[in-house]
A and B are shown apart, each in its own frame.
Chain A
Amino acid sequence: MIINYLIIGLSVITLFAVLGLVLVYLERKVSAFMQLRLGPMRVGYMGVGQTLADTIKLVAKEDIVPNKADKLLFNLAPYIVAVVAMLALAPLPFTQGLQVWDTSMGIFYIAAISSITVIGILTGGWASNNKYSLLGAMRSGAQIVSYELSVGLSLITIVLFAGGLKLSEIVGSQQDGWWIIKGHLPVWIAFIVFLIASTAELNRNPFDLPEAESELTAGFHTEYTGMKFALFMLSEYINLFIVASVATTLFLGGWMPFHISNWTFFNGLMDFIPPLVWFSVKSFSIIFVIMWFRWTFPRLRIDQLLTLEWKYLLPISLINVMIAAVVVMTGWHL
């Protein structure tokens, strides 16, 4: 048993590290592609070794703790955020049978665990003993807590359709077609709301005023150096992956191939591609879309950000849940 747990733990940590490296490299290449330049090219073939070099550099940096900072909380904050990110990786179904923990409260567990990230951010901002980090952390906290409501409501729409919280069941219910095709209008609205609200959850552009506050400071992680800063950064990218995976699992069919009913030859061809490849392609295309947002849109001001959530997204999500309930009860979906 212990051996099982050890293997699982090590593989999750490895996945965390490797995914982080790949995503940082991907972000740099995607941004370069949109900005008419090349991105990292020198370290390794086409620059693949760049993130590894950056990680080694960060690990070798001096670990500075500010004088009057609260030492325990200051050191604890990055680990809270990192551990939460790893915990949220647990119930994700990467392919048939490859799932760390198939709990019966799958999606609920992910939503609950991701909320603990806020504690890590607030702890980091408070313990830094820096007026501006605290401001940035509080803004960030307010933003995340507000947008969790919309995320939750859009997830509930799919739960209504699929009839359960267990992730493998949700994927299974998409055997004859992905929810984004089967459930029509309510699922489309839920998908768009989910994408917008998750970008805000991740503190990414266009919602990154707490972080890229170019006049005050770099937000809650200003005072962090070296490995702790690396953990904050990696956790942000892993959260990006988790959001993309959740979107894939709930809306785009998880590891299910793209079937069109009665086109048996086509379906056979689609089945030939392994499910893991399907999952990766879907989640990486959502990651690409979220990265695309970052490099295209300007930033929203903090009050515009909160107005967007409370006055627009939340009412739309609530109405959408009601529409979804009606559709499920009357069976108007495919």
Chain B
Amino acid sequence: MTTEPETISSIANSGIPIRSGIISPDFEAQDFLINIGPQHPSTHGVLHLKVHLSGEVITDLEPCLGYVHRGVEKMCEKLSYRQFIYLSSRLDYLSAHINNQACVIAIETAMGTEATPRAQAIRIIMSELTRLASHQLWWGCMGMDLGAFTPFFYGFRDRELITDIFEETCGTRLTMNYMVPGGVMHDIHSDFVRKVQEYLVHLKEKLPEYDEILSGNQIFLERVKGIGMLSREDAISYGCSGPVARASGLSCDIRKSHPYDGYDKITFKEILSSGCDNFARYQVRLGEMRESIAIIEQLIGNIPEGDFQAKVKKVIKLPKGEFYQRVETARGEFGVYIVSDGGNTPFRLKFRSPGFSNLSVLKKLCMGLKIADLVATMATLDLVIPDIDR
């Protein structure tokens, strides 16, 4: 190895690793290091992976993060308690409502108030619609990553109907900020109930189509079955949550173990699987979509009347102390940790992001697999990079 300055491309072409964090004492002549990302055709965001390949087989893998690091936690120290909620929807933007719900419930618990029953019902419906939208986008992108281009359009077609409903009530399609401490910002649109009921009927017709086009396809099954095995012990040790952990048989649904906002009054199943592979993660998410439909159906017919917002002071000051609230987003356990010293702004705010822990298990899953399997495994982990990078 020479020490004179060489151009990056010549080093990359010669296959010698440059200053990477990968410790590889036996680096053979036919091994080489490739960079996947940060710009990719697969739509996972700016994730940079340094992959060591020996022919077609992955021998080492290192994620390099920080391309979307915006310093959200530092920014929140200067924002008031009503303001930082807006930043939380920009973390995992596909579960924006659920992130907002976490922040808002943390503030409510700290102040000792609770949202009105009407607001709680509306919040749950919005969260479950968000979960449906997120899983549909995931399904479409999974198909596209594996080479089937048509599921992408089917998933987005169904997702458009949800974003239209959001636009009518909340005003925006992606980062809604509809929830405030005490309830929701405005009452629901007069068409909301009717549109959601129509949408559920439409989606129940379309879900078998999803199964036909991907899950039933033999080529797809060959690509995902038996690949990316994550044992239950590893899932616990790495802190994986959400569908990734539930597919390894780990029961960790926050809606069941620490119910919030009235989830304890609703009947729904927690989808578990013991397959531990990519296909199990896929099945868990499809099952979750069906459960979300069931949850919305229980609520949409009878949203309680009343106020949509409880009376809360305009300028919120939390008492001195530390508060933690966790919710179940489409990706796993999202937590908000607020340290308050009695002032107008949080002293320290920490977001526990599900993607961060799920990403840490990628190296373990992919050792010894081929590079095409890496794409399939990343698709099933369902990573959203702004959530990881905060």
Contact = CB atoms under 8 A, between A and B. Distances in A.
A205 B42 CA distance: 17
Interface string B201-236: 000000000000110010110110000000000000
Contact of A34 (B13, B40, B150): B150
A214 B41 contact: yes
A115 B375 CA distance: 32
B219 A300 contact: yes
Interface in A210-225: 212, 214-216
Given A295-B149, A298-B147, A36 B154 contact: yes
A206 interface: yes
A37 B143 contact: no
Given A131-B32, A206-B147, A298 B219 contact: yes
B214 A209 contact: no
A297 B217 contact: yes
A302 B372 contact: yes
- Name B's interface SS: helix
A62 interface: no
Contacts of B266: none
B116 to A, nearest CB: 41
Interface string B371-390: 11111000000000000000
A304 B153 contact: no
Given A37-B153, A216-B34, A297 B219 contact: yes
Contact of B372 (A36, A297, A301): A301
Contacts of A300: 219, 222-223
A259 interface: no
A104 interface: no
A34 B151 CA distance: 10
A298 B217 contact: yes
Interface residues on B, range: 20 to 34
- Name A's interface SS: loop
B75 interface: no
Contacts of A37: 153
Contacts of B222: 300-301, 304
Nearest to B371: A215
Contacts of B148: 295-299
A35 interface: yes
22 contacts: A35-B149, A35-B152, A35-B153, A37-B153, A131-B13, A131-B32, A132-B34, A206-B147, A206-B219, A212-B147, A214-B41, A214-B375, A215-B375, A216-B34, A295-B150, A296-B148, A298-B143, A299-B148, A299-B219, A299-B372, A301-B373, A304-B222
Interface of A: 31, 34-37, 131-132, 205-206, 208-209, 212, 214-216, 295-304
